[in-house]
Structure 1
């Protein structure tokens, strides 16, 4: 017969085993609950992102944050933007009057597209709140674009007497975190034209024309025509990026390479550096036959630096292997090694320095290139880098060879005289 103590120990071990099993069971249940609460992964259709935290820390955070007006959910409800919320509601009222008070149908249009309006994080709004926000923001953009197109529509409005505020709105509509999908704006604008009263069909602009007119000071003007409006762009930030890319862009090379010489060093190696026509920002070309590097002019000011940072953020979030703007910035970083290089490019009318100090330009460009990680296996300027590096190496080799021959001739001459 088992002793009482043995039985007691057995019961204690059994109870301990059950306790461990219960504890493990609760642990498993907790994991299952966590999995059940897990949000679905971000859809491949998502194209509007919050700028990554490391990028915000490395660069100027203000460059990614709206100053005047919030568009979409990522900055919705910010207290410092409340003033423009009233203006947005006024424009929503104008929009409703233009569509002959058929407000229900406008709401239905947004409701029908609701599942297709995708952001890269969970939005803490219910369906009605979300639809109201999208409709209000879209109506504001449409009415604002229409008013910007026609001076007669701007009379007696405080907004169009305040050039600083207008500039801030233009800036805010470029930001990656401050976007609506373009298909929402186009769909709602089509409905706006369809039912609006008092519009002359011959005088009506397409949404592409309104958009080009609004952003003409940001783009290069000769590229800003509706016929060049790219297809399948996601939003205004994406559109700005598309307008800065060449139409016949060759795919990036997978060969790792970088430019080894700055602008002033290239000039010293016999490379002629000149500005070319402003077809697009990335239209840089090295013509090896006459050693000529052609670069479209770049204007650096508070607006364009903000734009470049947001275009790069978009590429890093959405265009792996196609980071063309990032590649362009890396090229500029190689060329602008020192303030001497900046001054040289200004002299050649390639750079319009609106930042003032040449060292500030160097710091800005290098900061962009240093703190943004891109896949160097894909760079659209690899062949340009190779051509310039090869030219400089050949030039210095010829110089070195010539110097050696001069030294030999000098020694021979001295020996002959002695």
Structure 2
């Protein structure tokens, strides 16, 4: 696989390691390189920049990096890679985009001399992105490819399952199938057809209707999707990533909406873009500005003109909404926000590639403005990505539900694709 894709899986796996106690010691180089990538994404912009110590600490905390025990080591490594230069009270960061950041994460990983098992879990994840794999076949392949004993392979697959590097379900036949949330991020419609053709006529009709709705409108609320599919069918489809569920909200609670996994694939490599979920978070925040903000606080009326100005690197504002509706993007290092006067703030875009992708998605369909009007009227102060929500949903499934999903995956694996 290319370095960007490898870097994306390193970041993905590092995020998964956050949820499991002591698992980072088992996959130490993945954890280190992945967190370096996440930190670099937060610190870097398109142009070279100088960040003071306070801002570096704030961005690190927002990325769930411990500033006392982890940050110094990550900064030392980024300096060794000549990506930053440390001063007494500030750092200078080279300008770079997401693709370059993933390549740097891949290089940090490779230079750390990773163990065979770490290389194995990255390749396993990539292979399970294409089609579900029978676990016995996957074990044989990994064992032969990385010269691992049977015990080492069994221990590795146990850890993979516990951490969630890949997901697994058992079909009624007893076969254990391995897959992950990237199954439907490409544009190959044969996979979706294979799944839909295995369903009852009634369920297939409902899935097709939701697919058509999303193709036309880009996104719908989870409430709308549940009304159409029913809770159980939506959960099945969500579990295998046939649909994505994005979560946004603030102190008033979480609000969820459904999108197609391939919505961004038209404009980018989804595996690479999904490593940081920056464009999705940007589209979400812009949605609030277009549909929820009152005119007197800075409601967006000319989205194309606004984005064009941001992409040129210019400041926009001042407006009250800017200080409230773009906190997620500020914490991820996508925009810079500063006070102008009173409660009014202005902002500029630090990662212009994210703005260009958001502009395409908003103006060319797959997340068009008319569909975004269904989102809730609250200021976005947090964003939970589709993979986080999918894993949360899987933890709450019954045994019967898991077996049904296993059968769907078996159909996908053995279907005429």
RCO (CA 8 Å, sep 6+): is it higher in 1 or 2?
A: 2
TM over 0.5: no
More helix by share: 1
Tell me which structure has the larger Cα radius of gyration: 1
What's the TM-score, normalizing by structure 2?
0.28
